[in-house]
Amino acid sequence: MSTYPIPTLTTNNVKRKKVTTHTLRAMKHANQVISVLTAYDYPTALAMDQAEIEVILVGDSLGMVVLGYANTLPVTMADMLHHCKAVSRGAQYALLVGDMPFMSYQVSTEAAVRNAGRFLQEAGMDAVKLEGGSERLNAIRAIISSGIPVMGHLGLTPQSVHMLGGFRPQGRDASAAQALFEDAILLQEAGCFSLVLESVPARLARYISEHLEIPTIGIGAGGGCDGQVLVTHDLLGLFERFTPKFVKKYASLYQEMAKAFSAYKSEVEGHIFPAEEHSVDMPDSEWECFIERINHAE
């Protein structure tokens, strides 16, 4: 556990502490489950902070659920920084993790460090996440030695969708499971503070979680991880294109949104909106003065 003081923030007289990487490690060791969600904008980050979500991940899932791409590959550093800035203006308690986009850390170690630094220096993030195992160790070590906490990501790594042959579960045979476990150990040894396990068998995720000191965060990896993450647009039912099997929908906001837009259109067409209470008033005396001025000017 850290001996460094954790800043105490106060909202509505309720004292809350900023979540740090140390908090997550302590939660794992106290058997407290960690809740993680993705966010891409200010109001969502505010609502998550209010719900006391421990970690907000500005995921590159942004590309699919907000920007409308078929996968995460077209997402750029500029896209990520833009949305990270909005999230960091909304959340003051959650640990904020920025997802490094495709090609921002694969080309060279120097570029990986420089791009990781931009998430903290320009966009208010506390840490970065990147995908991959042994092939990413140099980049991960270099980023961490610059003082930037790194969250790893193994299993279904969407930036490798073309190598994996689609968005499919990983680690389902003995040798793939062994490779995944060994990668998890390597990431821990490299200094990652936490590890996302995506779309891997539940019993493998539990085994890895039990053998790591750092917390695992599962998505489609069963209940044996130290924490859970979902893409918020899936959880809210805002992304209708497809829903992975492992998602639980807690709302159907796309349908609600479509209903609200239709109601608005029919009220505009029926001259029901705007009503008097939505309009700005003007004193009669000023109105009369205005008409008089216009008439004199003619």
Distance (Å, whole) CA 187 – CA 251: 35
The answer to whether residue 38 forms part of the interface with ligand KIV (CB under 6 A) is: yes
In the numeric block, which tokens belong to residue 266? 């029919």
Nearer to ligand KIV, 16 or 73 (CB): 73
Instruction: Name which of 104, 159, 162, 155 is nearest 128 in CA terms.
Output: 104
| Residue 128 CB, nearest approach to ligand KIV (Å) | 12
Query: Is it true that the peptide bond before 43 is cis, omega within 30 degrees of 0?
Result: no
Q: Of 135, 182, 198, 276, which one is the catalytic site residue?
A: 198
Q: Which stretch binds ligand KIV (CB under 6 A): 57-65, 116-124, 163-171, 175-183?
A: 57-65
Binders of ligand KIV among 76-105, rule CB under 6 A?
A: 99
The CB-of-195 to ligand KIV minimum distance in angstroms stands at: 11
210 flagged as catalytic = no
Over the window 192 to 231, marking each residue x when it contacts ligand KIV by CB under 6 A and - when it does not, the resulting string is: ----x-x--------------------x---------x-x
Run of H or E including 253: helix 253-269
Query: By CB under 6 A, is residue 59 in contact with ligand KIV?
Result: yes
Q: Which two tokens stand for residue 265?
A: 């259109």
Nearer to ligand KIV, 38 or 44 (CB): 38
Query: Does the protein bind ligand KIV through residue 60 (CB under 6 A)?
Result: yes
Helices (H) and strands (E) in the chain, counts: 12, 10
Q: Give the span between the Cα atoms of 178 and 172, in whole angstroms.
A: 10
List all residues 6 or more positions away from 211 whose beta carbon is below 8 Å from its beta carbon.
181, 184, 185
DSSP 76: -
Which sequence positions are flagged as catalytic? Answer: 198
- Applying CB under 6 A, the residues found at the interface with ligand KIV are 38, 57, 59-61, 99, 196, 198, 219, 229, 231
